[in-house]
Structure 1
Amino acid sequence: MAEQEHLLIAALPPNSDYYTYLTLIEYNLSPENIPILHKVLQDEKLTTNIGWDLVHLLVPFLPESEACLLDIARLGNPREVILKVTESLRLIEHEEDAVGLTDSMDALAGATTDSKEKAESSTYPLKSAPTASGASSSGSAQMVELPPPLPLGVSHFNALLSMLAILHPRIRTKAPSKFLSVTLQAILASFSGAQSHREEMVLAIVKCVKEMVGVKRPALPSRKSSGMLTSRSTASATRAPAADPEGTIESSADVDDGEREMQDRLLQSFVTHVVEEYLLGLPSDDDVPGMAWCSRIMEKLHSERTIPDKQTLAGRFQAEGRLQRRIDAVGQLVTLAQDLKLSDDTLLAAATTVEKVAAAGSATQDEDDPPDSAGDIPLSRIGSILIYTAKQVAGILYDSGKLSESQPFAIFPDHQELLKHCLASVDQGSGALGTEPEPLIDAVLALGHILLERNAMGEPATDEQFNEYLQVTALLSSNCPSPNLRGHAHYLTSTILRSHPDDNVKLAFIRDTLEHCPFENLKVSAVGWVKGETVEANPPTSPGTGGQGHQHGADVEETPKSVFATPLALDSLAPYLFPSLQAELVTAPLHDAWMNFQTNISFYLTSLNFLYLLLSARHLHQSLGIKDLWTNSDVAGSFLQPLRDAGKRFKEAMEDGGKLEEERTDELLAELGLLDETIERVTNAVRFLNET
């Protein structure tokens, strides 16, 4: 059939009215007819009248219908088409799409074992394509790498954003922010519902926003292995768009400053919310929390601390494609934030302004109630601090480990304010702190590490402020499920604690932790803090120094003695370091005693090892009053003996027919054996008290 006889050509207006012609398209639309429709849509008048009604008909035919959709974006009424595109964005069902993709991938994995079919179904199949210079000549084909097929929902999302990138610059109205607000909310809502391939969606978002605002800088090149390849280009996308048929102004330059400021703020707010949604949605498998910023900056700045022959997280981010894709996506978004002129001061102000955010609503506020001014548009609090941290980390990871010295940001009071606003409040209960998304905890801790490396401590206004900061980081070191993050939180807590110049403040915090903290691993840390302060305050005396110091004592001003160099510190901590355990482990019912023992075994072993140090280090005996401590606190009777009796009690109960027989494992028996050995070492070291 000749093309002119095709129904979609023969029935063109004025041979039929627009409504009738639209109905013909709806009932005759098929993949075979899409090329004809593409030609028909080059008529600007026709596309202006029917284009917006075609959007919902063409989206299911993607990717074949992409050229037609771009025709509609270029020539249709932009105000009407934008409404249809945003409606289509919200209708994308990513969850079902993700399930379907998983099923198809599983089916593919278990299909045939034929080598040829396996090769053709690989992630990046090699296909033949004509070379640019020899499309019509014989033997001019070349092998090209094609990206894997995207899930249907992601393909729809990317195509619709390509339309929006064309539509928004076409609008000529005095208040384009009303259309922009609706669009950005729809994009964010659709992105939030996606379960996979978020990196490809991030790339589409970045390209769309840059085209909307006219950013000339090209998008950062993504790694070939990441799969973040651009969609196929079409001729329609390169043709000049039509004018706004309902335009009320000549050009975008006629928009007043207040309206332009509101558009800028909408885009800034949007990118902060996208960053929050993307980063907090990252899976934290294999103990890779989000971007693993903490580990990567520590590996960069302190390579001597890495374990030889063990792969570092920095190495994993270089070698593993899924982690490379994260770097690509975050890099694209941070660059976009810079293009949108999001300054560090603005980001930090947004991260610590909870009241303003709560009063103004969120980025997904009611579309029927658009903002009246730029001041009504809040940035994402979490997204802002994530962008700020990403910029600071990038300066270390990708700038030869350079640390900026010009930042006015410090641990006190700035980082403490971030802890208050970005993490669960301690007032809400200690159980909530540490359960936040791991990428957020990693970012907040990474910023703390950077400030330590810059020696940007600041100064706490009060001892209470100092203790509040340590309380948060210490609870993170205990509550956080990620061993990686617990270790970084512990390092931050220990370093900040030891930085305080007043030993009495340190002692008070340690005592409070030992007395009131319900978490065994945090009490273990507290014992480590006591040990560190004690060893540092009481170095072994070199031969001859004592006499020399006495000789010049009248001429040299003596340094005030640390509280950890006196018996006071250990005397005040003894009831918590070496508690009375008779009631808990010996006289309590067997199962209750066993539960207590299992919960606190690490603490018991740590305290025993510290006790062994105090007994065997003879130079500590007199200055710290260790003999009096041993006698007055009844360490042997109330702490050591109950542990010895409890170990014997549990081993007997684990024998055949005993009440704890089912609990017996090689690991537990080894743990009980270690307890016996440690108690024996401490008991043997008591003799050193009589030698001083």
Structure 2
Amino acid sequence: MPELEESITAVREGAKEDRFTYLTILQCHVATPGILPTLNEVLQNAELAQEIGWDLVQMLLDIEGSDACLETVARLGNPREVIIKVMEALEGLAVAWHDEVIIEDERPGVPPDSKIPGKFITLLGLLAILLRRIKTRYPSRFLASSLVKVFEAYQPTMEMTAVVVNLVRSLSGEKRPPLPTRSSSIDVANPDQDGDASKNAPDPEAEQEDPKEEVLQQKLLQSFTTCILQRYVNAHAMHWSPRLLEVYHPEKLVPGRKTSTIAYREDDTLQKRDAVVGQLVALLRDLGLGSCPKSFIKSIYTSSRANIDPLGSFEDCNFPDDIHLSPGGLVCLIAYWIFSTEVFGSDNPHPDMHIFPEHLALLEKFLGEEAQAEISSSPGIADALLAIGLGVEHREQTVGADGTQFMAYHHRLTLISVFHPDIQVRNAATTFAGIILHSDSDVQNRLEILEDLLENCMFAALKACAVTWLKEEITAARKEGVTNIFAKPDVIERLQYAAFPDMISVAALDTEALLEFWRQNSAFLLQVANFAFFLFTGDFKNLVPAGMAAAVEHRFSEPLILAAEKLEKAGVVDGEDSMQLSILTDRLRSLGLH
């Protein structure tokens, strides 16, 4: 191959020229197929690598199969100069990512033909080598700048997260033996650990490290890893709360429907998703985050930086206390501790917290005044918050709360049930809200929550839940033989106008408006029809106040039947809408109120 032979000669002989000339020669020949082994051989000249290494980073990064040459540059080049070029390349990847990114269901994804993840893996391998080579008084300054650039270029794929784990392990020092290889493992190149560190050239400008640097660097790595954990969890449906619910309350499983637990057990991709989070959590434990006292919990909800990325201030940090961990990442960490203890039998720290005040404070902190926006933008944190609540409640770590606190807590659970983008998490939030409601020892609190939902809630699905919870309270009072308000006609008397609202004006709507009303309120109306059947035709007739049956027929049942018939005759409904309307009218006609 004359072309290859010519390039080999040029690369070998050109090294004798001045460095500028040689770089020009490399630009002409380095992309020739088969030339890279020769270049790598030439670069073993440490003096040459020191002089031109940093100029080769971007040139080689764009060439397939150049990893060995880049590793040589990282081991022999001037580490302070080469690391600048690596950070510039990472910055370029961040820009390129935004040009290429594809958003699916508002979650980050990687175009199938993108070269960005491969370049990211290569650059982080170089970074690990370089940061360990630099011997300066304040290495944290190089570390802080590097971590910021890594995070800017990072996207929460499994491979990119695995290489981040490798980087932090290299920089923190391996404290645990490698885990056995499993089908759920994510393997990425790790030249710092797999290569020969004895080939590393010494730092030509080496200085004695400041004694406080070790603690400062550890805090930087802790903060960085919590940020990665938060971003990864927000980008992937971990389903911690649905899976915990299946463990804690198997009686609520729908027969014949595949559970989330089984789905994760059978799906290799989902198992890898779990494994990546497990690696991040293990890493944080190695970095010193291995206990969960009350003070740790309090530091999260008293932080003024709930959803603020702490990496933005890395380069201004001179003391460990200047460095903040990601509050959202810490919530994910606690949730995983609880989740993996229950589901995988892992040995994790036991969070020292209760529903009141700690978990309520966490919900208030992260859901804030703009709950819909917070839940939509950080679905993983919302799932994590819910998982923490399930774990704490299951261990019966509850303390007394007044009615205002209880209503505030229940309200925030229902916000997750309404706004979370994942239906399985919404269902888990709804179920947990019901469990919390029924667990309140103050019957008046329970009644006021139900009354507030029925009268003031604008979400039909949540009002439907309130009807279900009301039915469960009535049934439980009978079963347990208690004589509270749910065992007396007073409760129906008090709630009848909220539970069976006036439908006379609805029946008079035109077809278009009526169809819109139905689609917005069908969940609530169907649940009310079922509740009416439960109340008027079953064993609970004694709870119905005198004269109420006729009133409900006049203002609710008959107008709703007329409205349903109007929609059917207009031919504007089909499929599920038509089926549900039929179920509604059949159930209302079976009440026999007249």
Tell me the CA shift for residue 97 of structure 1. 6.6
Is 1:438 aligned to 2:379, yes or no? yes
Give the corresponding residue for 2:261: 314
Q: 506-515 or 612-621, which moves further after superposition?
A: 612-621
Provide the C-alpha distance between the structure 2 equivalents of 1:103 and 1:204, rounded to a whole number of angstroms. 19
Give the corresponding residue for 2:316: 370
Provide the C-alpha distance between the structure 2 equivalents of 1:525 and 1:171, rounded to a whole number of angstroms. 60
Give the corresponding residue for 2:406: 466
Question: Which of 384, 388, 393 lines up with 2:330 in the alignment?
Answer: 384
Tell me the CA shift for residue 350 of structure 1. 5.1
Give the corresponding residue for 1:6: 9
RMSD after superposition: 3.2
- The aligned amino acid for 1:206 is V
Is 1:604 aligned to 2:489, yes or no? no
Is 1:24 aligned to 2:25, yes or no? yes
* Paired residues of 1:226 and 1:321 also in contact (CA < 8 A): no
Provide the C-alpha distance between the structure 1 equivalents of 2:183 and 2:191, rounded to a whole number of angstroms. 15
Give the corresponding residue for 1:41: 43
Q: Deviations over 1:363-406 (max 9, x none)?
A: 44267x53122222221121121122112211111118x998x5
* Paired residues of 1:478 and 1:522 also in contact (CA < 8 A): yes
Tell me the CA shift for residue 534 of structure 1. 1.6
Provide the C-alpha distance between the structure 1 equivalents of 2:281 and 2:251, rounded to a whole number of angstroms. 30
Q: TM-score, normalization: structure 2?
A: 0.88
Give the corresponding residue for 2:56: 54
Question: Which of 647, 654, 665 lines up with 2:564 in the alignment?
Answer: 647
Q: How does 1:520-539 map to 2 (within 5 A)?
A: 520-539=460-479
Give the corresponding residue for 2:356: 412
Give the corresponding residue for 1:147: none
**Cα–Cα, structure 1 residues 61 and 237, in superposed 2: closer, same or farther, change >3 Å?**
farther
Give the corresponding residue for 1:636: 553
Provide the C-alpha distance between the structure 1 equivalents of 2:531 and 2:234, rounded to a whole number of angstroms. 41
Is 1:323 aligned to 2:270, yes or no? yes
**Cα–Cα, structure 1 residues 375 and 534, in superposed 2: closer, same or farther, change >3 Å?**
same
Give the corresponding residue for 1:181: 144
Is 1:275 aligned to 2:229, yes or no? yes
* Paired residues of 1:222 and 1:229 also in contact (CA < 8 A): no
- The aligned amino acid for 2:166 is K
* Paired residues of 2:121 and 2:188 also in contact (CA < 8 A): no
Provide the C-alpha distance between the structure 2 equivalents of 1:523 and 1:204, rounded to a whole number of angstroms. 47
Provide the C-alpha distance between the structure 2 equivalents of 1:281 and 1:608, rounded to a whole number of angstroms. 39
Give the corresponding residue for 1:665: 574
Provide the C-alpha distance between the structure 1 equivalents of 2:244 and 2:348, rounded to a whole number of angstroms. 11
- The aligned amino acid for 2:241 is C
Q: 667-676 or 330-339, which moves further after superposition?
A: 667-676
Alignment gaps of 5+ in structure 1: 105-150, 283-289, 542-558, 655-659, 687-692
Provide the C-alpha distance between the structure 1 equivalents of 2:567 and 2:497, rounded to a whole number of angstroms. 25
* Paired residues of 2:90 and 2:149 also in contact (CA < 8 A): yes
Give the corresponding residue for 2:345: 399
Tell me the CA shift for residue 489 of structure 1. 0.8
* Paired residues of 1:97 and 1:152 also in contact (CA < 8 A): no
Tell me the CA shift for residue 434 of structure 1. 4.6
Q: Deviations over 1:184-219 (max 9, x none)?
A: 011111113x7xxx2122221111211112224344
Provide the C-alpha distance between the structure 1 equivalents of 2:518 and 2:112, rounded to a whole number of angstroms. 47
Give the corresponding residue for 2:106: none
Alignment gaps of 5+ in structure 2: 103-108
Provide the C-alpha distance between the structure 2 equivalents of 1:10 and 1:323, rounded to a whole number of angstroms. 53
Q: 497-506 or 347-356, which moves further after superposition?
A: 347-356
Question: Which of 486, 489, 498 lines up with 1:576 in the alignment?
Answer: 498
Give the corresponding residue for 1:495: 435
Give the corresponding residue for 1:556: none
- The aligned amino acid for 1:6 is T
Give the corresponding residue for 1:681: 590
Identical pairs, percent: 29
Structure showing greater radius of gyration is: 1
**Cα–Cα, structure 1 residues 570 and 205, in superposed 2: closer, same or farther, change >3 Å?**
same
**Cα–Cα, structure 1 residues 569 and 76, in superposed 2: closer, same or farther, change >3 Å?**
same
**Cα–Cα, structure 1 residues 643 and 248, in superposed 2: closer, same or farther, change >3 Å?**
same
Give the number of equivalent residue pairs. 580
Give the corresponding residue for 2:537: 616
Provide the C-alpha distance between the structure 1 equivalents of 2:582 and 2:310, rounded to a whole number of angstroms. 59
Q: 176-185 or 202-211, which moves further after superposition?
A: 202-211
**Cα–Cα, structure 1 residues 17 and 299, in superposed 2: closer, same or farther, change >3 Å?**
same
Is 1:334 aligned to 2:284, yes or no? no
Q: Deviations over 1:205-237 (max 9, x none)?
A: 111211112224344455447663546899964
Give the corresponding residue for 2:240: 293
Is 1:206 aligned to 2:208, yes or no? no
Provide the C-alpha distance between the structure 1 equivalents of 2:110 and 2:494, rounded to a whole number of angstroms. 63
Q: How does 1:126-145 map to 2 (within 5 A)?
A: none
Q: TM-score, normalization: structure 1?
A: 0.77
Tell me the CA shift for residue 175 of structure 1. 0.8
- The aligned amino acid for 2:591 is V
- The aligned amino acid for 1:492 is F
Give the corresponding residue for 1:113: none
Provide the C-alpha distance between the structure 2 equivalents of 1:18 and 1:540, rounded to a whole number of angstroms. 89
Give the corresponding residue for 1:591: 512
Provide the C-alpha distance between the structure 2 equivalents of 1:499 and 1:263, rounded to a whole number of angstroms. 46
**Cα–Cα, structure 1 residues 308 and 614, in superposed 2: closer, same or farther, change >3 Å?**
closer
Tell me the CA shift for residue 523 of structure 1. 1.0
Give the corresponding residue for 1:170: 133
Tell me the CA shift for residue 334 of structure 1. 1.1
* Paired residues of 1:351 and 1:384 also in contact (CA < 8 A): yes
Q: Secondary structure at the match of 1:579?
A: coil
Give the corresponding residue for 1:256: 211
* Paired residues of 1:154 and 1:201 also in contact (CA < 8 A): yes
Q: Deviations over 1:641-677 (max 9, x none)?
A: 32233334334xx2xxxxx33x142544443332332
Q: Secondary structure at the match of 1:471?
A: helix
**Cα–Cα, structure 1 residues 56 and 608, in superposed 2: closer, same or farther, change >3 Å?**
closer
Q: Secondary structure at the match of 1:375?
A: helix
Is 1:626 aligned to 2:584, yes or no? no
* Paired residues of 1:94 and 1:153 also in contact (CA < 8 A): yes
**Cα–Cα, structure 1 residues 393 and 540, in superposed 2: closer, same or farther, change >3 Å?**
closer
Is 1:79 aligned to 2:80, yes or no? yes
